[in-house]
Amino acid sequence: MREISIKKDINKIRLLIVCTTLSDGGAERDASNFANLLNRQLFDVDNALMRVIIDYPVHDDVTIYDLGKQSMLNNLKAIWRLRKLASSNQYDTVFSSLSTYTIT
């Protein structure tokens, strides 16, 4: 799993936004807008992407995690990486815009 930028503040609400990419779709655009519009004094936002394809704007303070899904065979590995990421970073909230996965 690759981390593209680094930032953390323990006094903020930790939010992880999970989506397939930040390209070519309404849910992806909404995820990008949602991350960009949140109040930075209250929220610390990370994005976990199944594949790192970014066409929509992302603020510099949003950390992008690559879950490494390159094909259908990598689904379980990507879900495992997501589980590990979510548990190791102790997010307060996880928001998913994935259309084909439900992770509980």
Please give the model's pTM, rounded to 2 decimal places.
0.80
Report pLDDT digits (tens) over 81-96.
Answer: 989 998 898 899 998 8
How many other CB atoms are there within 10 angstroms of residue 63's CB atom? Answer: 19
Please check whether residue 94 is in contact with residue 18, taking contact to mean a CB–CB distance below 8 angstroms: yes
Radius of gyration of the chain (CA): 13
Residue 2 has pLDDT above 60, yes or no: no
- Condensed to tens digits (0 to 9), the pLDDT of residues 60-82 reads 999 999 998 877 777 788 888 98
Confidence of residue 4 (pLDDT cuts 50, 70, 90): very low
Answer whether 47's CB lies under 8 Å from 19's CB: yes
Q: What is the pLDDT of residue 101?
A: 56
Let me know: does 21 contact 58? Beta carbons within 8 Å.
no
Q: Measured between alpha carbons, how far is 30 from 81 in angstroms, rounded to an integer? A: 23
